[in-house]
Amino acid sequence: MATLPTLNRQIVFKARPQGLPTPACFELLTSPVPEPTQGQVLVRNHVLSVDPYIRMRMEAVDSYAPVMRMGEVLVGRTAGQVVASRASGFREGDWVVGRLGWQDFSVAQAGELQAIDTTLAPASAYLGALGSTGVTAWVGLMLFGQPKPGETVLVSAASGAVGGVVGQLARHLGCRAVGIAGGEAKCAQVKQAYGFDECVDYKAANFNEALRLALPQGVDVYFDNVGGPILDAVLPLVNHFGRIPLCGLVSQYNADQPYGVKHLREVFNRRITLRGFVLSDHRDQFEAANQALLAAYAAGHLKHRETLTHGLENAPQAFIQMLQGAHFGKQLVQIT
């Protein structure tokens, strides 16, 4: 094994945010590089994923997952290489992904890691379209959206990592894919990079009218990542017996109070199925999802796009900018 650094940089949770997180919520510390014990693996993290759900983990009250404690290393999935192994099934040099946190090195049990094949796709793709992001899109769309050829699938946060995969999967299934994104430039990218049929700018003054015009046949499946006023604008356009997989509520994460939904009666009027889902509840679907995503990627039907920030020390800023919608595709941090 090559000589490793003796110090492990870590970004820890320092202060709970009031609204949008600030750099003061994070602190960069160093500690000795850990050593694996029997059954454990030492991983050098190369790429870190920063995701919206982390904002909920920064609250004072548990949501679907426990809140983070002060001084705890920030939660996050990474892709990296095994540099020392005392566990069967993993050897030095193997590439793996796992929930290993915002740090240079992590020790993990073998069962906490997933081996990846970087000859099929770059390691970063396994944090995005071929990772839990892609699996989230597949599970939400297939289990709860249940799209049929010829139907219209609408996706909010279409320029993001999950939304981009949803639209591509919908198109591959023979559906019309319409996205919602922030700004003309992002809408153009959604159509060009992901192949959406149409994309509507929610920042435009005529958003509601533009949304209606983009959906002449209404909405059969609305894959929602944002909630709030955008969900409210969509509800009157959903067809009878439409399905809404609710994946996230990005519009609410930094708000002091929930806001934005006034047309809830449409769920009743139109017999809409509105289903919130959390990926960890559907582990029995992971294998099927992974196989479908890899096949789509190999066939050229699934494109992976990312925004890459360099340096672990810049992870907090990348996270803050991601919450503000400054990224396209998957927001990643190149650690090494």
CATH code, domain carrying 141: 3.40.50.720
DSSP code at position 112: G
**Chain segment 90-111, per-residue pLDDT in tens:** 999 999 999 999 999 999 999 9
Total domains in the fold of the chain: 2
**What pLDDT is recorded for position 2?**
59
User: Does any domain span residue 156?
Assistant: yes
User: Does any domain span residue 247?
Assistant: yes
Burial of 257 (0-12, 13-18, 19+ CB in 10 A): exposed
In angstroms, the CA 249 to CA 225 distance is: 6
Strand 26-32, strand 306-310: pairing: unpaired
- Asked whether residue 62 falls in the same domain as residue 182, the answer is no
- Asked whether residue 265 falls in the same domain as residue 140, the answer is yes
User: Does any domain span residue 105?
Assistant: yes
**What pLDDT is recorded for position 253?**
78
b vs e for 34-51, b when ≥16 Cβ sit within 10 Å of the residue's Cβ?
Answer: eebeeebbbbbbbbbbbb
**What pLDDT is recorded for position 231?**
97
User: Does any domain span residue 20?
Assistant: yes
Strand 238-246, strand 273-276: pairing: parallel
- Mean pLDDT in the chain? 95
Say what angle helices 132-139 and 286-298 make with each other, to 10 degrees: 110
User: Does any domain span residue 297?
Assistant: no
Mean pLDDT of 7-30: 96
> Residue 300 corresponds to which tokens in the numbers above?
């050229």
**Which are the contacts of 102, defined by CB distance < 8 A and separation ≥ 6?**
10, 11, 48, 73, 74, 75, 76, 312, 315
- Asked whether residue 169 falls in the same domain as residue 69, the answer is no
| Share above pLDDT 70 across residues of the chain, in percent, rounded to a whole number | 99
User: Does any domain span residue 210?
Assistant: yes
- Asked whether residue 139 falls in the same domain as residue 262, the answer is yes
- Asked whether residue 118 falls in the same domain as residue 147, the answer is no
Mean pLDDT of 18-41: 96
- Secondary structure class of 122 (helix, strand, coil): coil
**Chain segment 182-233, per-residue pLDDT in tens:** 999 999 999 999 999 999 999 999 999 999 999 999 999 999 999 999 999 9
- Asked whether residue 88 falls in the same domain as residue 158, the answer is no
**Is the alpha carbon torsion for 244, 248, 249, 250 positive or negative?**
negative
**Looking up tokens 């982390």, which residue turns up?**
54
**Chain segment 134-170, per-residue pLDDT in tens:** 999 999 999 999 999 999 999 999 999 999 999 999 9
**Chain segment 36-85, per-residue pLDDT in tens:** 999 999 999 999 999 999 998 999 888 878 899 999 999 999 999 999 99
User: Does any domain span residue 204?
Assistant: yes
* Nearest alpha carbon to residue 75 among 26, 35, 109: 26
Give the chain's count of helices (H) and strands (E): 9, 15
For residue 204, give Cα distances in angstroms to 117, 207, 208, 209, 252: 42, 5, 9, 10, 20
Residue numbers of the domain that contains 54:
7-128+305-334
**What pLDDT is recorded for position 3?**
78
- Asked whether residue 110 falls in the same domain as residue 197, the answer is no
Q: For residue 35, is pLDDT > 70?
A: yes
User: Does any domain span residue 2?
Assistant: no
Domain boundary among 280, 295, 325: 280
Q: How confident is the model at residue 279 (pLDDT cuts 50, 70, 90)?
A: very high
For residues 181 and 64, which has the higher predicted lDDT (pLDDT)? 181
- Asked whether residue 315 falls in the same domain as residue 230, the answer is no
Taking the complete model, does pTM exceed 0.85, yes or no?
Answer: yes
**Which are the contacts of 123, defined by CB distance < 8 A and separation ≥ 6?**
46, 47, 79, 80, 95, 97, 116
- Asked whether residue 121 falls in the same domain as residue 162, the answer is no
Query: For position 124, which CATH number holds?
Result: 3.90.180.10
- Asked whether residue 141 falls in the same domain as residue 255, the answer is yes
- Asked whether residue 120 falls in the same domain as residue 136, the answer is no
- Asked whether residue 79 falls in the same domain as residue 139, the answer is no
